[in-house]
Each structure stands twice: as structure tokens, then as C-alpha cells.
Structure 1
Amino acid sequence: MGYDPSTTAILLVDPYNDFLSEEGKVWPLAKQVAEEVHLLDNLRSVVASARTGGFRIFFVPHHRAEPGDIADWLHPTPYQKLISEHQSFAKGSWGGTFHDDFQPQQGDVVVHEHWQSSGFANTDLDQQLKQHGIRSIVLIGMVANTCIEATGRYGSELGYHVTLVKDATAALSHEAMHAAHDINGPTYAHAILTTDQLIAQLRGQN
């Protein structure tokens, strides 16, 4: 189909050190799957190709934990409790800093942090996309069956064309990857591609 850089954005979800770096708190849980799909190399390739092709990149970051920030909540989710307990991607920490290979550059958009999984819920992502004329979103980053899926599904509900890139994300198990791309993905995504397939289309090669 090809992608128009004037109406297509790359959504880079949660590129934190805790997710993507060897010393990160969550990396050991995702490492096996991430290395099997060559996650970091593919993320670098997608970002580089997007920048070369003039596609805008939106950083879609998770809330950075602070001690006690959900202590008085009525209904925190199990994942929110784990993040709070372990202070994953904690505010002001190295783990809560974007990976060195994925730093915002001139023209990128860093949207408000999401509290749970969807990059749209309670953030300015939809507003920012619409103000930049975006109609198609390509999701890469972490984690396939949580933030990637929730953001893609919400985006589809809002009327965006949604593309998943199944080897430019990872999850904590093979079962989670299978669910994200083979079971749930086809119920809302308009395209599910590999990195090579996406890059060919970003370059206008069908």
C-alpha cells in the first residue's frame, strides 16, 4: 500500500532503558523474545528509515513511577502495582530515561505519559496526531500485548489506520507475542508487517 509521510506517523512506545538496556529492570523478562526477533536492530532500522523518509516520530512514554503515586488509588491494576513496587522506569532514574539510541530529535513529538497501557487514554496523543494531519499510525516499541496492543486498538477505535510491526516489539513470553500478533492483532490492525516489509513500504517499494 505504501505510506505517505505527510499523513503517517511512527509511534515509538516506551523506549526506556528499563525495557531496552541490558541493565534495565524489565529487560531480563523480555530478553529472550527481544533477542530472537532482533528487537533493538529492528527498532533502529525503522527509526532510521522513518527519519530518512521524512516521517514524523511520536514518542509515547509510560508514566514514570514515583514512590506512593498510586498508594491511594481505588483500582490500580496488577501491572500498575508491580510497576509501583519495583519502581520500573522511575522518574529521575536511568531506567526511566530513553535509551541512548532513541532520543527525541528536532521535529519529533513527545506526548504526555500514559498511566496504564493505552498511549491515547488521558494523554494528548490524539490531539497531537490530528494537529499534525496524521491518519495512519505505525506502532513499534514495548510491550506487544500491553501498551502496543492497547494503543493500536484505541487508535483503530478513533479512526486511524493502524500498522503493527511484529519484530519491532517484544513481550515477556512467546505466548504473549502470539496473542498480540496472531489472535488479537487481526481484530483491529489494518496491517501486520515485518520490519523489512515496513521499510520497503516506507520507501515506496511495494
Structure 2
Amino acid sequence: MAQAHGLRRTAVLLVDPYNDFISEGGKLWPRLEPVAKEVGLLDNLRTVIASAREAGVQVVFVPHRRWEPGDYETWDHPNPTQRGIQERHSFARGSWGGEFHPDLQPQAGDVVVHEHWAQSGFANTDLDLQLKQHGITHVVVVGVLANTCVESTSRFAMELGYHVTLVRDATAAFLPEMMHAAHELNGPTFAHAILTTGELVTAFEEARP
């Protein structure tokens, strides 16, 4: 994956690493926990991000809209996920749940793009602009959820002409069936590669000078 074009043209897109999703005590963690623990989500996310930084790969945070009072209340047709956020106040701005996981914090040189309102990290944000300005042609998409924001962001990336890699154990979803759909049914229709964390780390290491 990385050998052909060089690590400097690759970015890891870390989608929605909020405490509410992936930390004990988060609002959505109980729904995610079984699959997250089965695949080793947190350890694999730590590994992917650390390996990317060691290899000089651009790390880009792709965060969901942090809920604020009044969000969606006047909208004509918020989607079911947005209705759920409206009810639960998921990722509320200024709350612990709306902060990134303590082990997945932006560092110097990382890019944090504008928050996405729905499921694609590209729609109504500066993600495409930031990637183009950093010379990125290949994206590795990790984080949550596998069948919503990760999939939508990855599909959009493909439509915009990026090479897309999914990492099947550096993401999670609420049900095993959703993971199956993300990687066995839907992913192969748009992703150029679907790897494990181990395979990705090896690709990074082999591509280093």
C-alpha cells in the first residue's frame, strides 16, 4: 500500500475518537464495548496512530459535531442518528464525553478538521482541502463507527479520487453484523485495501527509508 507512493502522501484519518464512544463511562460505550473489546479497538487505534507518527504519516482528526443546545431542533429532517444525539446529548461540547480519548490526543503536526454534522467527514468540512494542501493521495480510515462515519468518509474519499484503506480491527460497531457488512459486503465495493492493524504497521515499516 505505502511502498508505491511514499509515506509522505499518506494520511491516517482518525474518525470520532470521543470519550462518549470509546471510553469506559461514555454514553455510547456500552453499545460498542462487546465488539470493541473483541477486536481490540483501543490497543489497535493506539498502535495505528503511534506507528503512523513514527513513520512520518500525517495524522488527521475527523470529529463529529459536538452537540450544543438547540442542535437539530429547527431542522426539517434530521436523520435517526442526529435524533439520537439530540436526545442523548452525545459528544456535548464542553463535556468529558465530547473530549477525545486521553490516549488519542492531537499532537504537534496533526490536523484537526472541521466537525462533520452527519456521517461523512468530507461533507461541509475542510477535510478535502486539508488533505490536498498536505499532498495526500492515500488515506487510511480508522475510528468509529465502522458502518456509519468510517464507511461514509471512506466512500466519499474514493469518490474524490483518494486511495482508501480500511483497517478491520481499528474500528468497531454496535453489532457484529454491522462489522461484517462494513468489511465483507460494503467495504470491498469502494476500498482499495482492507487490512489488519498488523498488516498496516508492517506496510508502514517496510516503506520507511
Q: Which runs of 4+ in 1 moved over 3 A?
A: none
Could you list the per-position Cα deviations for residues 82-139 of structure 1 after superposition, in whole angstroms to 9, with x for gaps in the alignment?
Answer: 0111000001100000110011000000000000000000000000000000000000
Work out which of the residue numbers 93, 105, 121 in structure 1 matches 2:107.
105
**Alignment check: 8 A CA contact 2:2 2:10 kept:** no
Aligned counterparts of 1:52 and 1:2: Cα–Cα separation in 2: 14
Q: CA deviation at 1:75?
A: 1.0
Q: Secondary structure at the match of 1:70?
A: coil
Deviation at 1:2, TM superposition (A): 2.8
Q: Give the match for residue 127 of structure 1.
A: 129
In structure 1, how many angstroms separate the alpha carbons of the residues matched to 2:160 and 2:24? 36
- TM-score scaled to structure 1, two decimals? 0.98
Partner of 1:176: 178
In 2: Cα distance, 1:12 partner to 1:204 partner = 22
- Unpaired segments of 5 or more residues in structure 1? none
Does the residue aligned with 1:139 lie in a helix, a strand or coil?
Answer: strand
Deviation, 1:66, is 1.1
Report matched runs for 1:38-53 at 5 Å. 38-53=40-55
SS at structure 1 position matched to 2:128: helix
Aligned residues: 205
Amino acid at match of 2:129: Q
1:139 maps to which of 138, 141, 144: 141
Matched-pair identity in %: 63
SS in 1 for 2:191: coil
What letter is aligned with 2:77? H
Residue 68 of structure 1: how far off its partner (Å)? 1.8
CA RMSD of aligned residues (A): 0.8
5+ long unaligned stretches in structure 2: none
